[in-house]
Structure 1
Amino acid sequence: MKGIAAGVFLAIVGVILWLTTQQVETPFVSLHKVGLVLAVVGGAEALFALVALGKRAGK
């Protein structure tokens, strides 16, 4: 359950960053791109946690 919550939290923060920082310029990385990466990683983490939870419930 902790993995699902962490994944959802990362995805929400990533989407917020992705939607609100298009015009922000930083020296090394674009916050817009970091937000997209966080959203994808968070979604993947939540999905894998759900799959693992389903496998444990099936046994």
Structure 2
Amino acid sequence: MKGFAVGIVLAVVGLALWLTTKEVETPIFSLSKAGLILAIVGGAEALFALLGLGKKANK
């Protein structure tokens, strides 16, 4: 359950960064791209956590 919660938090923070920082450019990377990556990683982590919970329930 902890992995699912972390994934959801990452996805929400990533979406917030992606949607609110389109105009902000930093010298190294853009915050909107970092937010999109965080959202994707968070969604994948939540999905894998749910799949893991489903496998444990079947045993």
TM-score computed with the length of structure 2 as normaliser: 0.99
1:44-55 to structure 2, matched below 5 A, reads: 44-55=44-55
Shift of 1:15: 0.2
User: Any unmatched runs of 5+ in structure 2?
Assistant: none
For residues 3-55 of structure 1, what are the alpha-carbon distances to aligned partners after superposition, in whole Å with 9 as ceiling and x for unaligned?
00000000000000000000001000000000000000000000000000000
Aligned to 1:58: 58
RMSD value, Cα: 0.3
Aligned length: 59
State the 4+ residue runs in structure 1 displaced beyond 3 angstroms. none
User: Any unmatched runs of 5+ in structure 1?
Assistant: none
CA distance in structure 2 between the partners assigned to 1:13 and 1:27 by the alignment: 21
